Chains A and B, each alone.
Chain A
Amino acid sequence: MSKAILKSEGIVSLNESKFITEGLRENLRVDGRRPHDMRRLNINFDSGVTGHVEVQLGGTRVLTSVRADIVEPFPERPTEGFFHFNVEFSPMADPNFEQGKQSDQFIELGRVVERGLRESRAIDSEALCIIASEKVWSVRCDIHILDHVGNLTDCASIATIAALMHFRRPSTTVTGSQVTVHPPGEKEPVPLSIHHFPVCITFGFFEENGVTVLDPHLKEELIMDGQMTLTLNSHREICSIQKAGGTAVSMETLSQCLRIAAVKVLSSTYSSVLLYQVEEITGIIQKALEEDAAKRRKLRS
Protein backbone atom coordinates (compact mmCIF):
# COMPACT_ATOMS: atom_id res chain seq x y z
CA MET A 1 0.00 0.00 0.00
CA SER A 2 1.58 3.25 -1.08
CA LYS A 3 1.44 6.17 1.29
CA ALA A 4 1.62 9.90 0.95
CA ILE A 5 4.34 11.73 2.85
CA LEU A 6 3.23 15.06 4.28
CA LYS A 7 6.15 15.90 6.53
CA SER A 8 8.03 19.13 7.08
CA GLU A 9 11.07 17.64 5.29
CA GLY A 10 9.10 17.27 2.11
CA ILE A 11 5.83 16.28 0.56
CA VAL A 12 5.29 13.28 -1.66
CA SER A 13 1.85 12.74 -3.13
CA LEU A 14 0.02 9.42 -3.30
CA ASN A 15 0.51 9.28 -7.07
CA GLU A 16 4.28 9.68 -6.84
CA SER A 17 4.57 7.24 -3.97
CA LYS A 18 2.59 4.63 -5.88
CA PHE A 19 4.57 5.24 -9.07
CA ILE A 20 7.92 4.88 -7.32
CA THR A 21 7.12 1.76 -5.30
CA GLU A 22 5.42 -0.01 -8.17
CA GLY A 23 8.18 0.99 -10.55
CA LEU A 24 10.80 -0.50 -8.25
CA ARG A 25 9.02 -3.81 -8.53
CA GLU A 26 9.98 -3.70 -12.23
CA ASN A 27 13.49 -2.44 -11.37
CA LEU A 28 12.57 0.97 -12.74
CA ARG A 29 13.46 4.22 -11.04
CA VAL A 30 12.07 7.62 -11.94
CA ASP A 31 15.35 8.95 -13.26
CA GLY A 32 15.83 5.94 -15.51
CA ARG A 33 18.41 4.23 -13.32
CA ARG A 34 18.41 0.60 -12.25
CA PRO A 35 18.30 -0.06 -8.48
CA HIS A 36 22.08 -0.36 -8.14
CA ASP A 37 23.10 2.54 -10.36
CA MET A 38 24.59 5.73 -9.05
CA ARG A 39 23.85 9.15 -10.51
CA ARG A 40 26.54 10.91 -12.48
CA LEU A 41 29.34 12.29 -10.36
CA ASN A 42 31.03 15.53 -11.28
CA ILE A 43 33.88 17.15 -9.34
CA ASN A 44 34.99 20.75 -9.84
CA PHE A 45 37.91 22.45 -8.15
CA ASP A 46 38.28 26.16 -7.70
CA SER A 47 41.18 27.31 -9.83
CA GLY A 48 42.28 29.96 -7.34
CA VAL A 49 42.42 28.35 -3.93
CA THR A 50 43.17 24.85 -2.70
CA GLY A 51 40.66 22.81 -0.78
CA HIS A 52 37.65 24.33 -2.45
CA VAL A 53 35.60 21.64 -4.15
CA GLU A 54 32.14 21.51 -5.62
CA VAL A 55 30.69 18.05 -6.13
CA GLN A 56 27.59 17.24 -8.12
CA LEU A 57 25.88 13.90 -7.68
CA GLY A 58 23.08 14.09 -10.22
CA GLY A 59 21.22 17.21 -9.13
CA THR A 60 22.57 17.24 -5.57
CA ARG A 61 25.33 19.79 -5.14
CA VAL A 62 27.70 20.18 -2.23
CA LEU A 63 30.57 22.63 -1.88
CA THR A 64 33.29 21.93 0.63
CA SER A 65 35.96 24.39 1.58
CA VAL A 66 38.91 23.60 3.80
CA ARG A 67 41.12 26.06 5.62
CA ALA A 68 43.78 25.80 8.28
CA ASP A 69 44.76 28.04 11.19
CA ILE A 70 47.45 27.76 13.83
CA VAL A 71 46.05 27.29 17.33
CA GLU A 72 47.14 26.06 20.75
CA PRO A 73 46.42 22.35 21.42
CA PHE A 74 44.57 20.91 24.42
CA PRO A 75 47.00 20.43 27.33
CA GLU A 76 46.05 16.74 27.70
CA ARG A 77 46.76 16.13 23.99
CA PRO A 78 49.74 18.33 23.26
CA THR A 79 50.67 16.77 19.91
CA GLU A 80 47.25 16.58 18.30
CA GLY A 81 45.87 19.07 15.83
CA PHE A 82 42.20 19.56 15.14
CA PHE A 83 39.76 18.64 12.43
CA HIS A 84 36.43 20.41 12.52
CA PHE A 85 33.51 19.48 10.31
CA ASN A 86 30.66 21.86 9.92
CA VAL A 87 27.53 21.48 7.79
CA GLU A 88 26.02 24.66 6.38
CA PHE A 89 22.78 24.78 4.48
CA SER A 90 20.55 27.43 3.04
CA PRO A 91 16.87 27.51 2.09
CA MET A 92 18.10 28.00 -1.48
CA ALA A 93 19.02 24.31 -1.62
CA ASP A 94 15.59 23.11 -0.58
CA PRO A 95 12.66 25.30 0.46
CA ASN A 96 12.02 22.93 3.36
CA PHE A 97 15.33 23.84 5.00
CA GLU A 98 14.78 26.36 7.75
CA GLN A 99 17.39 29.03 8.21
CA GLY A 100 19.17 28.75 11.52
CA LYS A 101 17.53 25.51 12.54
CA GLN A 102 20.04 22.69 12.76
CA SER A 103 17.89 19.64 12.14
CA ASP A 104 18.78 16.06 13.08
CA GLN A 105 19.35 15.32 9.43
CA PHE A 106 22.34 17.68 9.26
CA ILE A 107 23.81 16.64 12.56
CA GLU A 108 23.71 13.03 11.38
CA LEU A 109 25.17 14.00 8.01
CA GLY A 110 28.12 15.78 9.58
CA ARG A 111 28.66 12.95 12.04
CA VAL A 112 28.65 10.22 9.41
CA VAL A 113 31.14 12.09 7.24
CA GLU A 114 33.36 12.87 10.21
CA ARG A 115 33.23 9.38 11.70
CA GLY A 116 34.13 7.75 8.40
CA LEU A 117 37.27 9.85 8.21
CA ARG A 118 38.30 10.07 11.85
CA GLU A 119 37.61 6.62 13.21
CA SER A 120 39.09 4.84 10.26
CA ARG A 121 42.21 6.92 10.89
CA ALA A 122 42.17 8.25 7.37
CA ILE A 123 43.05 11.68 8.65
CA ASP A 124 45.92 12.06 11.02
CA SER A 125 45.59 14.76 13.66
CA GLU A 126 49.11 14.10 15.00
CA ALA A 127 50.60 15.17 11.68
CA LEU A 128 49.12 18.60 12.29
CA CYS A 129 51.47 19.30 15.18
CA ILE A 130 54.02 22.08 14.69
CA ILE A 131 55.42 22.48 18.24
CA ALA A 132 54.06 20.11 20.89
CA SER A 133 51.76 21.78 23.47
CA GLU A 134 52.28 25.14 21.78
CA LYS A 135 51.21 25.29 18.16
CA VAL A 136 49.16 22.92 16.05
CA TRP A 137 47.14 23.26 12.87
CA SER A 138 43.39 23.39 13.15
CA VAL A 139 41.76 22.27 9.93
CA ARG A 140 38.22 23.42 9.40
CA CYS A 141 36.02 21.79 6.82
CA ASP A 142 32.85 23.66 5.85
CA ILE A 143 30.33 21.55 4.00
CA HIS A 144 27.85 23.79 2.19
CA ILE A 145 24.71 22.19 0.82
CA LEU A 146 23.88 24.02 -2.40
CA ASP A 147 21.20 21.82 -3.90
CA HIS A 148 19.35 18.97 -2.28
CA VAL A 149 17.94 16.32 -4.58
CA GLY A 150 18.61 13.36 -2.34
CA ASN A 151 21.54 11.45 -0.88
CA LEU A 152 23.40 14.33 0.71
CA THR A 153 25.57 11.96 2.74
CA ASP A 154 27.37 10.41 -0.21
CA CYS A 155 27.76 13.71 -1.99
CA ALA A 156 29.08 15.43 1.14
CA SER A 157 31.50 12.62 1.90
CA ILE A 158 32.91 12.72 -1.62
CA ALA A 159 33.19 16.50 -1.48
CA THR A 160 34.91 16.37 1.88
CA ILE A 161 37.51 13.76 1.01
CA ALA A 162 38.18 15.46 -2.33
CA ALA A 163 38.60 18.84 -0.61
CA LEU A 164 40.94 17.41 2.02
CA MET A 165 43.01 15.74 -0.69
CA HIS A 166 43.11 18.93 -2.70
CA PHE A 167 43.96 21.18 0.21
CA ARG A 168 47.54 22.42 0.74
CA ARG A 169 48.49 24.05 4.01
CA PRO A 170 51.32 26.58 4.09
CA SER A 171 54.75 25.16 4.70
CA THR A 172 56.32 25.91 8.11
CA THR A 173 59.88 25.96 9.45
CA VAL A 174 60.68 25.62 13.15
CA THR A 175 63.85 27.21 14.47
CA GLY A 176 64.05 26.78 18.21
CA SER A 177 60.68 27.95 19.44
CA GLN A 178 60.22 30.26 16.46
CA VAL A 179 57.74 29.22 13.77
CA THR A 180 57.92 30.67 10.28
CA VAL A 181 54.88 30.26 8.03
CA HIS A 182 55.93 30.50 4.41
CA PRO A 183 53.57 32.08 1.91
CA PRO A 184 52.80 29.89 -1.13
CA GLY A 185 55.16 31.85 -3.39
CA GLU A 186 58.13 31.33 -1.10
CA LYS A 187 57.88 27.64 -0.33
CA GLU A 188 55.63 24.97 -1.84
CA PRO A 189 52.57 24.38 0.39
CA VAL A 190 52.23 20.86 1.72
CA PRO A 191 49.28 18.45 1.42
CA LEU A 192 47.58 16.98 4.51
CA SER A 193 48.53 13.43 5.38
CA ILE A 194 45.59 11.28 4.39
CA HIS A 195 46.20 7.56 4.65
CA HIS A 196 43.27 6.21 2.68
CA PHE A 197 40.10 7.53 1.10
CA PRO A 198 36.85 6.51 2.76
CA VAL A 199 33.72 7.14 0.73
CA CYS A 200 30.12 6.78 1.90
CA ILE A 201 27.70 4.62 -0.06
CA THR A 202 24.04 4.85 0.93
CA PHE A 203 21.43 2.18 0.39
CA GLY A 204 17.70 2.67 0.71
CA PHE A 205 15.38 -0.16 1.71
CA PHE A 206 11.81 -0.63 0.63
CA GLU A 207 10.21 -3.07 3.02
CA GLU A 208 7.10 -3.76 1.02
CA ASN A 209 8.72 -5.06 -2.13
CA GLY A 210 12.06 -5.99 -0.63
CA VAL A 211 14.04 -3.77 -2.97
CA THR A 212 17.36 -2.22 -2.06
CA VAL A 213 18.36 0.86 -4.00
CA LEU A 214 21.71 2.57 -4.24
CA ASP A 215 22.03 6.37 -4.11
CA PRO A 216 18.35 7.19 -3.40
CA HIS A 217 17.05 10.49 -4.75
CA LEU A 218 14.91 12.90 -2.75
CA LYS A 219 11.51 11.31 -3.27
CA GLU A 220 12.82 7.80 -2.73
CA GLU A 221 14.50 9.05 0.42
CA LEU A 222 11.22 10.40 1.73
CA ILE A 223 9.18 7.27 1.11
CA MET A 224 11.72 4.54 1.76
CA ASP A 225 11.45 2.54 4.98
CA GLY A 226 15.07 2.62 6.01
CA GLN A 227 18.55 3.47 4.93
CA MET A 228 22.06 2.31 5.62
CA THR A 229 25.29 4.14 4.91
CA LEU A 230 28.40 2.04 4.43
CA THR A 231 31.77 3.73 4.36
CA LEU A 232 34.46 1.88 2.46
CA ASN A 233 37.88 2.80 1.21
CA SER A 234 39.78 1.97 -1.92
CA HIS A 235 41.56 -0.89 -0.13
CA ARG A 236 38.14 -2.53 0.19
CA GLU A 237 38.02 -2.06 3.93
CA ILE A 238 34.80 -1.21 5.75
CA CYS A 239 35.38 2.01 7.69
CA SER A 240 31.96 2.50 9.22
CA ILE A 241 28.35 1.46 8.94
CA GLN A 242 25.56 3.81 9.83
CA LYS A 243 22.03 2.54 10.28
CA ALA A 244 19.81 4.89 12.24
CA GLY A 245 16.24 3.73 12.73
CA GLY A 246 13.90 2.77 9.95
CA THR A 247 13.02 -0.71 8.91
CA ALA A 248 14.92 -3.62 10.34
CA VAL A 249 17.46 -4.89 7.88
CA SER A 250 17.63 -8.63 8.10
CA MET A 251 20.88 -10.28 9.04
CA GLU A 252 20.72 -11.86 5.63
CA THR A 253 20.68 -8.53 3.79
CA LEU A 254 23.40 -7.11 5.98
CA SER A 255 25.64 -10.14 5.83
CA GLN A 256 24.99 -10.41 2.13
CA CYS A 257 26.34 -6.88 1.75
CA LEU A 258 29.30 -7.71 3.96
CA ARG A 259 29.87 -11.08 2.32
CA ILE A 260 29.84 -9.51 -1.10
CA ALA A 261 32.37 -6.99 0.19
CA ALA A 262 34.58 -9.64 1.77
CA VAL A 263 34.48 -11.90 -1.26
CA LYS A 264 35.31 -9.02 -3.51
CA VAL A 265 38.25 -8.03 -1.35
CA LEU A 266 39.63 -11.55 -1.68
CA SER A 267 38.99 -12.03 -5.34
CA SER A 268 39.94 -8.39 -5.94
CA THR A 269 37.42 -7.99 -8.70
CA TYR A 270 35.42 -4.87 -9.08
CA SER A 271 32.16 -6.44 -10.07
CA SER A 272 30.50 -5.94 -6.71
CA VAL A 273 28.28 -2.94 -7.00
CA LEU A 274 29.46 -1.45 -3.77
CA LEU A 275 33.17 -1.88 -4.26
CA TYR A 276 32.94 -0.98 -7.86
CA GLN A 277 31.31 2.28 -6.89
CA VAL A 278 34.04 3.06 -4.33
CA GLU A 279 36.72 2.23 -6.86
CA GLU A 280 34.97 4.32 -9.40
CA ILE A 281 34.50 7.28 -7.08
CA THR A 282 38.09 7.20 -5.89
CA GLY A 283 39.12 6.97 -9.52
CA ILE A 284 37.01 9.98 -10.41
CA ILE A 285 38.35 11.97 -7.45
CA GLN A 286 41.94 11.09 -8.33
CA LYS A 287 41.45 11.83 -12.00
CA ALA A 288 39.94 15.22 -11.18
CA LEU A 289 42.82 15.96 -8.79
CA GLU A 290 45.41 15.03 -11.40
CA GLU A 291 43.73 17.17 -14.03
CA ASP A 292 43.66 20.09 -11.63
CA ALA A 293 47.33 19.61 -10.70
CA ALA A 294 48.30 19.54 -14.39
CA LYS A 295 46.36 22.74 -14.96
CA ARG A 296 48.18 24.41 -12.07
CA ARG A 297 51.59 23.30 -13.36
CA LYS A 298 50.74 24.72 -16.74
CA LEU A 299 49.70 28.03 -15.20
CA ARG A 300 52.87 28.30 -13.20
CA SER A 301 55.27 27.59 -16.10
Chain B
Amino acid sequence: MTNTKRKDPPKESVDENDVEQIEEEEAQAEEEEVLETESPMDTVEQEDAPIPTSAIDRVVLPGEVVGKWMENHPIRIGPGLSQINDRIVVTKAGVLRRPITKYFWVECHQKRYVPTQDDMVIGIITERHGDNYKVDIGCSQVATLSILAFEGASRKNKLNIKNGSIIYCRVTLANKDMEPEVACVSTRNKSEGYGELNDGYMFKCGIGLAYKLLRDDCAVLASLGRVVPFEIAAGMNGRVWINSGSRRHTVLITNAIINSEMMPDDQTKMMVDKLSSYFTS
Protein backbone atom coordinates (compact mmCIF):
# COMPACT_ATOMS: atom_id res chain seq x y z
CA MET B 1 0.00 0.00 0.00
CA THR B 2 2.28 2.73 -1.09
CA ASN B 3 1.45 4.26 -4.38
CA THR B 4 -2.30 3.56 -4.47
CA LYS B 5 -2.67 6.14 -1.79
CA ARG B 6 -3.03 9.63 -3.04
CA LYS B 7 -1.58 11.95 -0.44
CA ASP B 8 -2.65 15.26 -1.78
CA PRO B 9 -1.28 17.19 -3.54
CA PRO B 10 -1.32 14.18 -5.84
CA LYS B 11 2.03 12.87 -6.90
CA GLU B 12 1.41 9.28 -7.82
CA SER B 13 -2.03 7.83 -8.07
CA VAL B 14 -3.75 4.75 -9.32
CA ASP B 15 -5.31 6.37 -12.33
CA GLU B 16 -2.14 8.09 -13.38
CA ASN B 17 -0.25 4.83 -13.15
CA ASP B 18 -2.74 3.15 -15.33
CA VAL B 19 -2.96 5.98 -17.80
CA GLU B 20 0.82 6.04 -18.05
CA GLN B 21 0.85 2.34 -18.54
CA ILE B 22 -1.69 2.49 -21.32
CA GLU B 23 0.15 5.39 -22.89
CA GLU B 24 3.37 3.43 -22.80
CA GLU B 25 1.71 0.46 -24.43
CA GLU B 26 0.20 2.73 -26.98
CA ALA B 27 3.54 4.38 -27.68
CA GLN B 28 5.01 0.96 -28.28
CA ALA B 29 2.12 0.01 -30.48
CA GLU B 30 2.57 3.21 -32.40
CA GLU B 31 6.23 2.54 -32.97
CA GLU B 32 5.46 -0.89 -34.30
CA GLU B 33 2.76 0.56 -36.46
CA VAL B 34 5.14 3.11 -37.88
CA LEU B 35 7.62 0.42 -38.76
CA GLU B 36 5.02 -1.73 -40.43
CA THR B 37 2.93 0.73 -42.35
CA GLU B 38 5.11 3.84 -42.24
CA SER B 39 2.10 6.05 -41.62
CA PRO B 40 2.59 8.31 -38.57
CA MET B 41 -0.51 8.13 -36.36
CA ASP B 42 -0.28 11.68 -35.11
CA THR B 43 -0.94 13.28 -38.45
CA VAL B 44 -4.21 11.50 -39.05
CA GLU B 45 -6.79 13.74 -40.65
CA GLN B 46 -9.97 14.01 -38.59
CA GLU B 47 -12.14 12.70 -41.42
CA ASP B 48 -10.06 9.56 -41.57
CA ALA B 49 -10.20 8.92 -37.81
CA PRO B 50 -12.25 5.88 -36.72
CA ILE B 51 -14.31 8.11 -34.43
CA PRO B 52 -14.41 11.77 -35.52
CA THR B 53 -13.56 14.49 -32.99
CA SER B 54 -16.99 16.01 -33.48
CA ALA B 55 -18.55 13.00 -31.74
CA ILE B 56 -16.46 13.37 -28.60
CA ASP B 57 -17.98 14.91 -25.44
CA ARG B 58 -21.39 14.69 -27.05
CA VAL B 59 -24.50 12.86 -25.79
CA VAL B 60 -24.86 9.53 -27.59
CA LEU B 61 -27.73 7.08 -27.58
CA PRO B 62 -27.84 3.29 -27.91
CA GLY B 63 -27.81 2.17 -31.53
CA GLU B 64 -26.01 5.24 -32.75
CA VAL B 65 -23.11 4.55 -35.11
CA VAL B 66 -20.29 6.84 -33.99
CA GLY B 67 -17.47 5.57 -36.15
CA LYS B 68 -16.06 2.88 -38.31
CA TRP B 69 -13.39 0.30 -37.83
CA MET B 70 -10.20 1.11 -39.71
CA GLU B 71 -7.51 -1.47 -39.97
CA ASN B 72 -4.66 1.00 -40.10
CA HIS B 73 -5.94 3.12 -37.20
CA PRO B 74 -6.43 0.78 -34.26
CA ILE B 75 -8.41 2.18 -31.34
CA ARG B 76 -9.50 0.84 -27.99
CA ILE B 77 -13.16 0.93 -27.11
CA GLY B 78 -14.34 0.74 -23.54
CA PRO B 79 -17.71 0.37 -21.81
CA GLY B 80 -20.74 1.50 -23.79
CA LEU B 81 -19.23 0.92 -27.21
CA SER B 82 -19.20 -2.19 -29.28
CA GLN B 83 -17.94 -3.22 -32.67
CA ILE B 84 -20.46 -4.68 -35.09
CA ASN B 85 -18.79 -5.69 -38.34
CA ASP B 86 -16.93 -2.53 -39.34
CA ARG B 87 -19.09 -0.09 -37.41
CA ILE B 88 -18.59 1.22 -33.89
CA VAL B 89 -21.99 1.27 -32.24
CA VAL B 90 -23.09 2.82 -28.96
CA THR B 91 -24.74 0.44 -26.48
CA LYS B 92 -25.41 2.81 -23.56
CA ALA B 93 -26.88 6.29 -23.30
CA GLY B 94 -24.32 8.77 -22.06
CA VAL B 95 -21.51 11.07 -23.08
CA LEU B 96 -18.77 9.81 -25.39
CA ARG B 97 -15.34 10.42 -23.86
CA ARG B 98 -11.81 10.21 -25.12
CA PRO B 99 -9.49 10.63 -22.14
CA ILE B 100 -6.39 9.73 -24.13
CA THR B 101 -5.80 9.32 -27.83
CA LYS B 102 -7.38 6.24 -29.34
CA TYR B 103 -9.21 5.25 -26.16
CA PHE B 104 -12.99 5.76 -26.16
CA TRP B 105 -15.83 5.01 -23.81
CA VAL B 106 -19.33 6.17 -22.93
CA GLU B 107 -19.69 7.88 -19.58
CA CYS B 108 -23.11 7.26 -18.07
CA HIS B 109 -24.98 6.95 -14.82
CA GLN B 110 -25.10 3.30 -13.95
CA LYS B 111 -25.04 1.44 -10.67
CA ARG B 112 -24.55 -2.11 -11.82
CA TYR B 113 -21.02 -3.20 -12.49
CA VAL B 114 -20.15 -5.44 -15.41
CA PRO B 115 -16.55 -6.65 -15.13
CA THR B 116 -14.11 -5.85 -17.90
CA GLN B 117 -10.55 -7.06 -18.11
CA ASP B 118 -7.92 -4.78 -16.54
CA ASP B 119 -10.47 -2.82 -14.52
CA MET B 120 -9.16 -1.71 -11.15
CA VAL B 121 -11.81 -2.66 -8.63
CA ILE B 122 -12.38 -2.76 -4.90
CA GLY B 123 -13.54 -6.11 -3.60
CA ILE B 124 -14.59 -7.60 -0.29
CA ILE B 125 -13.29 -11.04 0.71
CA THR B 126 -16.34 -13.19 1.37
CA GLU B 127 -14.92 -16.71 1.59
CA ARG B 128 -11.56 -18.33 2.07
CA HIS B 129 -10.60 -21.60 0.47
CA GLY B 130 -7.35 -23.56 0.30
CA ASP B 131 -6.09 -22.11 -2.95
CA ASN B 132 -8.18 -19.01 -3.40
CA TYR B 133 -10.37 -16.36 -1.94
CA LYS B 134 -13.89 -15.49 -3.08
CA VAL B 135 -14.21 -11.78 -3.63
CA ASP B 136 -17.37 -9.74 -4.01
CA ILE B 137 -16.70 -7.07 -6.61
CA GLY B 138 -20.28 -5.95 -6.99
CA CYS B 139 -21.12 -7.87 -10.15
CA SER B 140 -23.55 -10.73 -10.56
CA GLN B 141 -21.01 -13.39 -9.66
CA VAL B 142 -18.32 -13.62 -7.00
CA ALA B 143 -14.80 -13.32 -8.33
CA THR B 144 -11.93 -15.66 -7.56
CA LEU B 145 -8.62 -14.42 -6.21
CA SER B 146 -5.77 -16.90 -6.14
CA ILE B 147 -3.60 -16.88 -3.02
CA LEU B 148 -0.62 -16.71 -5.36
CA ALA B 149 -1.86 -13.55 -7.07
CA PHE B 150 0.06 -11.30 -4.67
CA GLU B 151 3.54 -9.94 -5.11
CA GLY B 152 6.08 -12.39 -3.77
CA ALA B 153 3.47 -14.92 -2.68
CA SER B 154 4.24 -18.61 -2.85
CA ARG B 155 2.67 -21.74 -1.44
CA LYS B 156 4.89 -21.46 1.61
CA ASN B 157 4.73 -17.73 1.98
CA LYS B 158 1.15 -16.62 1.56
CA LEU B 159 -0.84 -13.70 2.83
CA ASN B 160 -3.54 -14.23 5.35
CA ILE B 161 -6.48 -11.94 4.66
CA LYS B 162 -9.52 -12.00 6.90
CA ASN B 163 -13.09 -12.43 5.69
CA GLY B 164 -14.71 -9.06 5.19
CA SER B 165 -11.46 -7.26 4.36
CA ILE B 166 -11.31 -4.78 1.50
CA ILE B 167 -8.81 -5.35 -1.29
CA TYR B 168 -7.84 -3.25 -4.26
CA CYS B 169 -7.41 -5.58 -7.21
CA ARG B 170 -7.35 -5.90 -10.97
CA VAL B 171 -9.74 -7.96 -13.07
CA THR B 172 -7.66 -10.53 -14.95
CA LEU B 173 -10.47 -12.55 -16.45
CA ALA B 174 -13.83 -11.22 -17.50
CA ASN B 175 -16.03 -13.46 -19.56
CA LYS B 176 -19.78 -13.33 -19.55
CA ASP B 177 -20.06 -17.09 -19.09
CA MET B 178 -17.40 -17.51 -16.41
CA GLU B 179 -16.68 -16.37 -12.92
CA PRO B 180 -14.43 -13.33 -13.04
CA GLU B 181 -10.89 -13.60 -11.72
CA VAL B 182 -9.00 -10.87 -9.95
CA ALA B 183 -5.39 -10.43 -8.94
CA CYS B 184 -3.52 -8.15 -6.58
CA VAL B 185 -0.59 -7.73 -8.94
CA SER B 186 -0.09 -5.61 -12.01
CA THR B 187 0.73 -6.99 -15.45
CA ARG B 188 4.38 -6.68 -14.42
CA ASN B 189 3.77 -8.98 -11.44
CA LYS B 190 4.34 -6.16 -8.99
CA SER B 191 1.93 -5.05 -6.30
CA GLU B 192 1.90 -1.42 -7.54
CA GLY B 193 -0.66 -0.38 -4.99
CA TYR B 194 -2.91 -3.41 -5.23
CA GLY B 195 -3.59 -5.28 -2.03
CA GLU B 196 -5.47 -4.97 1.21
CA LEU B 197 -6.84 -1.57 2.20
CA ASN B 198 -6.65 -1.00 5.92
CA ASP B 199 -8.99 1.12 8.02
CA GLY B 200 -10.80 4.00 6.36
CA TYR B 201 -14.29 3.89 4.96
CA MET B 202 -15.68 2.56 1.72
CA PHE B 203 -18.79 3.83 0.00
CA LYS B 204 -20.67 2.86 -3.10
CA CYS B 205 -21.44 5.27 -5.90
CA GLY B 206 -22.47 5.22 -9.51
CA ILE B 207 -19.96 3.87 -12.02
CA GLY B 208 -19.97 7.30 -13.67
CA LEU B 209 -18.68 9.00 -10.52
CA ALA B 210 -15.98 6.36 -10.06
CA TYR B 211 -14.72 7.04 -13.59
CA LYS B 212 -14.86 10.76 -12.91
CA LEU B 213 -12.69 10.32 -9.82
CA LEU B 214 -10.14 8.40 -11.85
CA ARG B 215 -9.71 11.22 -14.32
CA ASP B 216 -6.73 13.54 -14.02
CA ASP B 217 -8.87 16.66 -14.13
CA CYS B 218 -11.20 15.62 -11.31
CA ALA B 219 -12.31 18.89 -9.73
CA VAL B 220 -13.52 17.53 -6.41
CA LEU B 221 -10.32 15.65 -5.58
CA ALA B 222 -8.13 18.55 -6.63
CA SER B 223 -10.02 21.05 -4.49
CA LEU B 224 -10.36 18.70 -1.52
CA GLY B 225 -6.65 17.96 -1.74
CA ARG B 226 -5.92 21.63 -1.21
CA VAL B 227 -7.74 21.74 2.13
CA VAL B 228 -7.17 18.33 3.70
CA PRO B 229 -4.73 15.43 3.30
CA PHE B 230 -6.39 12.09 2.58
CA GLU B 231 -5.95 8.77 0.84
CA ILE B 232 -8.32 7.53 -1.83
CA ALA B 233 -8.71 4.39 -3.92
CA ALA B 234 -11.42 4.49 -6.55
CA GLY B 235 -12.58 1.22 -8.04
CA MET B 236 -14.20 1.04 -11.45
CA ASN B 237 -16.96 -1.03 -9.87
CA GLY B 238 -18.37 2.06 -8.16
CA ARG B 239 -16.67 1.59 -4.82
CA VAL B 240 -14.49 4.26 -3.33
CA TRP B 241 -12.29 3.89 -0.30
CA ILE B 242 -11.30 6.94 1.73
CA ASN B 243 -8.96 7.33 4.65
CA SER B 244 -7.89 10.47 6.42
CA GLY B 245 -6.55 11.72 9.70
CA SER B 246 -9.86 11.73 11.51
CA ARG B 247 -13.20 10.04 11.16
CA ARG B 248 -14.97 13.39 10.91
CA HIS B 249 -12.82 14.36 7.95
CA THR B 250 -13.50 11.03 6.24
CA VAL B 251 -17.24 11.61 6.58
CA LEU B 252 -16.93 15.12 5.15
CA ILE B 253 -14.77 13.95 2.23
CA THR B 254 -17.16 11.07 1.51
CA ASN B 255 -20.17 13.35 1.36
CA ALA B 256 -18.36 16.00 -0.64
CA ILE B 257 -17.46 13.38 -3.25
CA ILE B 258 -20.98 11.91 -3.37
CA ASN B 259 -22.52 15.37 -3.70
CA SER B 260 -20.10 16.38 -6.45
CA GLU B 261 -21.48 13.75 -8.82
CA MET B 262 -24.00 15.97 -10.56
CA MET B 263 -22.21 19.29 -9.98
CA PRO B 264 -20.32 21.38 -12.49
CA ASP B 265 -16.67 21.99 -11.60
CA ASP B 266 -17.07 25.59 -10.42
CA GLN B 267 -19.87 24.62 -8.03
CA THR B 268 -17.78 21.74 -6.70
CA LYS B 269 -14.99 24.20 -5.89
CA MET B 270 -17.46 26.46 -4.09
CA MET B 271 -18.81 23.54 -2.08
CA VAL B 272 -15.34 22.46 -1.00
CA ASP B 273 -14.46 26.04 -0.09
CA LYS B 274 -17.52 26.15 2.13
CA LEU B 275 -16.47 22.89 3.76
CA SER B 276 -12.90 24.02 4.37
CA SER B 277 -13.77 25.65 7.70
CA TYR B 278 -15.02 22.29 9.00
CA PHE B 279 -11.71 20.65 8.19
CA THR B 280 -9.67 23.16 10.11
CA SER B 281 -11.88 23.29 13.20
Report which A residues bind B (CB closer than 8 A): 3-6, 11-19, 22-23, 26, 28-32, 95
Contacts and interface: CB of A to CB of B under 8 A. Distances in A.
A14 B203 contact: no
Contacts of B140: 95
Interface stretch (B97-105, B159-167, B181-189): B159-167
Contacts of A14: 162-166
Interface string B120-150: 0000101100000000101010000000000
Contact of B200 (A19, A26, A28, A95): A19
A130 B111 CA distance: 48
25 contacts: A3-B164, A4-B163, A4-B165, A5-B164, A11-B136, A12-B164, A13-B124, A13-B166, A13-B202, A14-B162, A14-B164, A14-B166, A15-B165, A15-B166, A15-B200, A16-B201, A16-B202, A18-B199, A28-B251, A29-B251, A30-B201, A31-B255, A32-B252, A32-B255, A95-B111
A13 B198 CA distance: 11
A14 B200 CA distance: 10
Contacts of B112: 95
B248 interface: yes
B250 A4 contact: no
Interface residues of B, number: 28
A13 B203 CA distance: 10
B254 interface: yes
Contacts of A4: 124, 162-165
Contact of A15 (B136, B163, B199): B199
A5 B136 CA distance: 12
User: Chain A's interface: helix, strand, loop or mixed, by majority?
Assistant: mixed
Nearest to B138: A95
A13 B250 contact: no
B14 interface: no
A3 B111 CA distance: 26
B197 interface: yes
A98 to B, nearest CB: 12
B200 A30 contact: no
Contact of A19 (B124, B164, B250): B250
B247 interface: yes
Contacts of A15: 165-166, 197-202, 241
Interface of B: 111-112, 124, 126-127, 136, 138, 140, 162-166, 197-203, 241, 247-248, 250-252, 254-255
Closest 7 CB pairs of A and B: A4-B164, A14-B164, A19-B201, A13-B124, A6-B126, A13-B166, A23-B247
Contacts of A5: 164
Contacts of B198: 15
Contacts of B251: 23, 28-32
- The residue among A13, A18, A30, A95 with the most chain B CB atoms within 10 A of its own CB is A13
Contacts of A26: 247-248
Contacts of B203: 30
B247 A13 contact: no
A26 B127 CA distance: 32
Contacts of A22: 247
Contacts of A12: 164
Contacts of A32: 251-252, 255
B124 A11 contact: yes
A11 B197 contact: no
B164 A30 contact: no
Given A11-B124, A11-B136, A28-B247, A17 B164 contact: yes
B113 to A, nearest CB: 9
Contacts of B124: 4, 6, 11, 13
Contacts of B255: 31-32
A71 B199 CA distance: 59
Contacts of B127: 6
A21 to B, nearest CB: 11
A68 to B, nearest CB: 35
Contacts of A11: 124, 126, 136
Given A13-B164, A95-B112, 15 more contacts: A3-B164, A11-B136, A13-B202, A14-B165, A15-B198, A15-B200, A15-B241, A18-B199, A19-B199, A19-B201, A26-B247, A31-B251, A32-B251, A32-B252, A95-B111
Nearest to B136: A11
Contacts of A31: 251, 255
Contacts of A30: 201, 203, 251, 254
B241 to A, nearest CB: 8
Nearest to B124: A13
A29 B254 CA distance: 12
Contacts of A19: 199-201, 247, 250
A6 B127 CA distance: 9
- The residue among B124, B126, B252 with the most chain A CB atoms within 10 A of its own CB is B124
A11 B136 CA distance: 8
Contacts of A6: 124, 126-127, 136, 163-164
Nearest to A218: B204
